[in-house]
Amino acid sequence: MNNLLIRGAQVVSPTGISRADVRVENGTIVTVAAGLVPEPGEEILEATGLHLFPGVIDPQVHFREPGNTHKEDLESGSRAAASGGVTSFLEMPNTNPPGTTAEMIRAKYALASTKCHVDFGFFIGATPDNLEELNSCPEACGIKVFMGSSTGTLLVSERPDLERIFGNGRKLIAVHAEDDAMIKANKDRLGDTATLQDHPYIRSPEAALKATTLAVELSKKYNRRLHILHCTTEEEADFLRREKIEGLISAEVCPQHFLLIAPEIYDKLGTYAQMNPPLREARHGKALWKALVDGVIDCTATDHAPHTREEKDKGYPLAPAGMPGVETLFPLMLDRALNGYCTLPDLARWMCEAPARLYGMVGKGAVKPGYDADFTLVDLQAERTIRNGHLQTRVNWSPYDGCTLKGEVKKTIVRGKVVYENGVVVAEGRGWGLPLKFDPAWERA
């Protein structure tokens, strides 16, 4: 079944680019070498002139199922992923009801297996009192802790509760690091006078740094694997540069936090630019980009958080926070590379190798024998314009509407099967996606 020979592509890895053929048997890469001779019955994919990346991984998305499927569901979200070259995603538990029990997370895996186009993993959500559940869900890719409240009801803001979660168990903890009390105090101070332009000061850099500092302290105290989701401030980048311990603590950044810059972006997009943690001024964006380039920040993600136009049009402060992004992640980063900000191998490291390594995903993140045949095949010569109304996400809008980007995803391949090509997600019956496997040995003792 599905034996494939990809011929003549420029294969991109974190260490370089080289022209090679890639042989795939039963969804697994078996050989990467120049000049492979086709075998009988093998499907041939001519890729001369194209670049072949390991499948891109988005380690932070919100696909809204159960409870808010008018915004997105696992099918539409994974379709958006496939169309953006994303072959695996990790999904967040702030659904309705929130995913806070092992049983709910298992049900989500079972549901995803019936309709996802790409491979998937799910976080379990922490509450002040579900420690037992957190520690009885080996399937989850990690524990999500909202230290500051955002969309949904999940929140663990008190230190004793955080101590208990960090101090018991081994699974990776991924934190939304914003200090809830500081946010509340800022909100109360401004009261009814607050406008959208105040959003990044209500959810202030100090609030982000305070929560990140506490999470790092607890990670070190309990030797507990910590991932800081969507860093947004220069202060956090500086702090992590000093304090991060490789192998114990990792961090991510979303492209919108260095591409969409306040205050102008709020004038341009209104509440469509509202998200948590917020879009901020240029100094933060510059520091975050530098931290990514320097390896202080390990990987990219989107925090794909779709809300409908009707919901966004409610105005500040009623509009919900969040913006879609899973299908524009790789195109935006490719454009950035093709404009000279970074290299193509950097993309393979930040978007493929690093997320796979940080979460202990088995068989993901590299074009090497023994790995899953997940690929993002791109044409560097093409261009693509992002347009509202022409997207796969159910909400069908993007903060990048009208942007023309260099490079284009031509095919997305998951375990040897083309799931997206030339603008179309190739759906057949039940989805092709499978649960990601996580290496238990990678969890820290």
Tell me whether residue 150 or residue 233 sits nearer to ligand DOR (CB atom).
Answer: 150
DSSP, collapsed to helix, strand or coil, labels residue 342 as coil
**What is the DSSP-derived secondary structure letter of residue 278?**
P
> Minimum distance from CB of 93 to ligand DOR (Å)?
10
- For residues 420 and 411, the answer to whether their CB atoms sit within 8 Å is yes
Within residues 122-161, the interface with ligand DOR by CB under 6 A covers 150-151
Residue 145 C-beta: closest distance to ligand DOR, Å: 11
As a whole number of angstroms, the distance between CA 182 and CA 186 comes to: 6
Exactly one of 57, 165, 305, 332 binds ligand DOR (CB under 6 A); which one? 305
Candidates 276, 300, 393, 398: give the one binding ligand DOR (CB under 6 A): 276
DSSP H or E segment with residue 332: helix 329-338
Q: Which residue is nearest to ligand DOR (CB)?
A: 322
Distance in angstroms (rounded) separating the CA atoms of residues 264 and 280: 10
At residue 385, the 3 state secondary structure works out as strand
Buried/exposed code over 106-121 (b: 16+ C-beta within 10 A; e: otherwise)? eebbeebeebbbbbbb
Q: Where in 238-267 is the site for ligand DOR (CB under 6 A)? A: none
Report the nearest approach of ligand DOR to the CB of residue 62 (Å). 4
The footprint of ligand DOR on residues 188-217 (CB under 6 A) is none
62 binds ligand DOR (CB under 6 A): yes
Q: State the minimum distance, in angstroms, from the CB of residue 52 to ligand DOR.
A: 32
Nearer to ligand DOR, 395 or 419 (CB): 395
d(CA 171, CA 109) in angstroms, rounded, equals 18
- What is the distance between the alpha carbons of residues 274 and 321, in angstroms, rounded to a whole number? 5
Stretch that binds ligand DOR, among 36-44, 287-295, 315-323, 430-438 (CB under 6 A): 315-323
**DSSP 3-state assignment of 25?**
strand
DSSP reduced 3-state for 241: helix
Structure tokens at 8: 């003549």
- Binder among 93, 200, 205, 322 for ligand DOR (CB under 6 A): 322
Out of 6, 262, 275, 391, the only residue in the binding site for ligand DOR (CB under 6 A) is 275
Does 115 bind ligand DOR (CB under 6 A)? Our answer is no
What is the token pair recorded at 322? 């969040």
To ligand DOR, the closest distance from the beta carbon of 293 in angstroms equals: 25
Q: Which residues bind ligand DOR (CB under 6 A)?
A: 62, 94, 150-151, 176, 275-276, 303, 305, 320-322
